Amino acid sequence: MAVGDSVLSSPLGPPACQKDAKALRFIEEMTRNADAVQERVLAEILSRNAETEFLRRYELGGATDRETFKSRLPMVTYEDLQPEIQRIANGDRSPILSAHPISEFLTSSGTSAGERKLMPTIQEELDRRQLLYSLLMPVMNLYVPGLDKGKGLYFLFVKSETRTPGGLLARPVLTSYYKSDHFKTRPYDPYMVYTSPNEAILCADSYQSMYTQMVCGLVERAQVLRLGAVFASGLLRAIRFLQLNWQQLAEDIRTGSLNPKVADLEIRDCIGRILKPDPALAELIVKECSHDNWEGIITRIWPNTKYLDVIVTGAMAQYIPTLDYYSGGLPLACTMYASSECYFGLNLNPMCKPSEVSYTIMPNMAYFEFLPHEPNSLELTRGSPPKLVDLADVEVGKEYELVITTYAGLCRYRVGDILRVTGFHNSAPQFHFVRRKNVLLSIDSDKTDEAELQKAVENASELLREFNTSVVEYTSYADTKTIPGHYVIYWELLIKDLADSPSGDALNKCCLAMEESMNSVYRQCRVADNSIGPLEIRVVKNGTFEELMDYAISRGASINQYKVPRCVSYKPIMELLDSRVVSSHFSPARPHWTPERRR
């Protein structure tokens, strides 16, 4: 455990081992020189991509400095790049966005025209992601000692992949990572030993994968020091899975043999080596799981758990109370902030309270700019070009939209995340994730915006025509009290002929019609991942939305400017709406979804 003096004196320390010392030194170096690193990153990106079709368009003339870049290049959205991306997807291998060959597409959970956005990536980005991953444990080890004395129970999954017409793979970034050699043949590291075997993580069948990961986590319950999933919703899905499958799991553990529903040969082969008859453990599982009260189940089954490793910032904050309930209030660690476009940074104080989480953007990952987010600012509404601020120049307390320029060829690309600066680590700012723009409803990785919800309501209300009925007002709510959570849509109806009002069956079908109208991420969560439950329509009494307006006005809203909120979560409003419900309806089937894109 020899540790260099220079590291001991760093604000991040002392490291747990020599390997950690190197990682912490790297973080210090990057964050101390944030501005210089950013300048170098931009110059590298601009010089290597100078001959791409995209950059040539802006006639940089070989310049790689910030001033020329900022004066010539506009900010872009995914939709602006859609034609270029489509050409790459169709097989055009010329250097359109990137001088390096596009190795695959990463499919984002953000959608465009109902389909996942396709993010072109290059081979070396895997190394950059790996580098960020390699910094997480050295930071965690500063706060939680002894993680090398046990294992992590992480529920990790691959999702389906497709090929674009031009033959490139299109799959989520984590699927790409788990299938890479970086993950599959990772060297042994005592601080990163997982209970889940690769065979289980890499099994495309989510039931078999989850079942096996749960069996392994149960068998090694005493060694488990931390439990995790990428997002909070994923860990809760695992708890729900245990609720539904504990009898079978206990039986398999009792007999030491995997039941035939897990048919994957590679899994069976590897579990054959792990699973031995353990009647005492089976009995314990039955005893704990057959209780009606599941409060604290995580620590009852995995008594040595020190923390839960899940992201609970942003939309996932809605799951904090449920996680607290099942874990008896274990610390929740949010370790990193990343996207399909680029991995951004990490939390240097991962054991802090969820409300205090700040992510430090690592200046080596991409070139970062920040668009001041001041919705009411006159300057912006008058149309004068917004001025982007550099990473080292953001101001504490202000909110910004993140804009990135990546090695893979995205230039001044608007990610759509709103961040607030909370402070600095050395000269690198730290950000609180405020929200993603234009997201109304989210349960898992789905993100439904106002326009999508509006379209879904319109499509579904077509079914009411034959009953001479229309939807006069609506709002929505992401109900996460049940697992999986589900969308609730409140409808106020105008029924012209009471003798012929819409049947319950017709309203159930409206639920399904709404689901069919949702974007592909929503439908995938419903169909393949089972991470969203059937959509519910609650029909409310006539006049309910007027009462909602009266309530808002009584609390100071201006009568002229009042707009019906299209999503609600404020408790008194929920209570008002729920007290006016006359009937509720659920989607009777799953919507259509296949891995293939609709366009």
Cβ proximity to ligand AMP: between 413 and 487 the closer is 413
Interatomic CA distance for residues 118 and 236, integer angstroms:
28
Report how many residues bind ligand AMP under the rule CB under 6 A. Answer: 17
Q: State the minimum distance, in angstroms, from the CB of residue 415 to ligand AMP.
A: 5
Among 98, 305, 339, 461, the residue binding ligand AMP under the rule CB under 6 A is 339
- Note whether 433 binds ligand AMP by CB under 6 A: yes
* Side-chain half-sphere CA neighbours of 32 within 13 A: 9
Stretch touching ligand AMP by CB under 6 A, among 248-256, 334-342, 421-429, 549-557: 334-342
Find out whether 359 and 431 touch, Cβ atoms under 8 Å.
yes
Stretch touching ligand AMP by CB under 6 A, among 193-201, 253-261, 332-340, 545-553: 332-340
Cβ proximity to ligand AMP: between 433 and 487 the closer is 433
Q: State the minimum distance, in angstroms, from the CB of residue 412 to ligand AMP.
A: 16
Pairing of strands 169-171, 536-540: unpaired
Work out the angle at residue 171's Cα, subtended by the Cα atoms of residues 166 and 176, and round it to the nearest 5 degrees: 115
Q: State the minimum distance, in angstroms, from the CB of residue 203 to ligand AMP.
A: 22
- For 102, the token pair is 């596009």
Phi, psi of 18 (to 5 degrees): -60, -40
Q: State the minimum distance, in angstroms, from the CB of residue 401 to ligand AMP.
A: 11
Instruction: Find tokens 């390096």 and name the residue.
Output: 100
Q: Which residues pair with 372 in a beta bridge?
A: 400
Cis peptide before 321 (omega within 30 of 0): no
Pairing of strands 224-231, 307-311: parallel
- For 46, the token pair is 């601009």
Q: State the minimum distance, in angstroms, from the CB of residue 229 to ligand AMP.
A: 13
Q: State the minimum distance, in angstroms, from the CB of residue 588 to ligand AMP.
A: 30
Cβ proximity to ligand AMP: between 119 and 202 the closer is 119
Interatomic CA distance for residues 2 and 385, integer angstroms:
53
Among 10, 103, 109, 322, the residue binding ligand AMP under the rule CB under 6 A is 109
Cβ proximity to ligand AMP: between 262 and 310 the closer is 310
Stretch touching ligand AMP by CB under 6 A, among 294-302, 337-345, 381-389, 589-597: 337-345
Stretch touching ligand AMP by CB under 6 A, among 103-111, 381-389, 484-492, 576-584: 103-111
Work out the angle at residue 229's Cα, subtended by the Cα atoms of residues 298 and 356, and round it to the nearest 5 degrees: 85
Start-to-end C-alpha separation, the chain = 56
Site for ligand AMP in 182-241 (CB under 6 A): none
Stretch touching ligand AMP by CB under 6 A, among 61-69, 94-102, 335-343, 580-588: 335-343
Q: State the minimum distance, in angstroms, from the CB of residue 519 to ligand AMP.
A: 12
Cβ proximity to ligand AMP: between 211 and 413 the closer is 413
Site for ligand AMP in 296-325 (CB under 6 A): 311, 313-314
- For 551, the token pair is 């309530």
Cβ proximity to ligand AMP: between 97 and 418 the closer is 418
Cβ proximity to ligand AMP: between 50 and 317 the closer is 317
* Side-chain half-sphere CA neighbours of 233 within 13 A: 25
Find out whether 277 and 255 touch, Cβ atoms under 8 Å.
yes
Site for ligand AMP in 553-592 (CB under 6 A): none
Find out whether 233 and 157 touch, Cβ atoms under 8 Å.
no
Among 237, 436, 580, 585, the residue binding ligand AMP under the rule CB under 6 A is 436
* Side-chain half-sphere CA neighbours of 59 within 13 A: 0
Cβ proximity to ligand AMP: between 25 and 128 the closer is 128
Q: Taking the mean position of all CA atoms in its chain, how far away is CA 470?
A: 35
Among 334, 348, 510, 512, the residue binding ligand AMP under the rule CB under 6 A is 334
Find out whether 594 and 520 touch, Cβ atoms under 8 Å.
no
Cβ proximity to ligand AMP: between 191 and 337 the closer is 337
Cβ proximity to ligand AMP: between 319 and 433 the closer is 433
- For 492, the token pair is 């106020």
Residues in the chain: 599
Among 33, 49, 103, 108, the residue binding ligand AMP under the rule CB under 6 A is 108
**Of 95, 39, 48, 97, which is closest to residue 68 (Cα–Cα)?**
39
DSSP secondary structure string, 393-409?
A: G--TT-EEEEEEE-TTS
What is the per-residue binding string for ligand AMP in 124-163, x denoting contact by CB under 6 A? ----------------------------------------
Stretch touching ligand AMP by CB under 6 A, among 16-24, 56-64, 336-344, 526-534: 336-344
Residue 496 is which amino acid? Answer: K
Cβ proximity to ligand AMP: between 116 and 509 the closer is 116
Environment class of 337 (CB within 10 Å of its CB; exposed 0-12, middle 13-18, buried 19+): buried
Chain contacts with ligand AMP (rule: CB under 6 A): 108-110, 173, 311, 313-314, 334, 337-340, 415, 417, 433, 436, 445
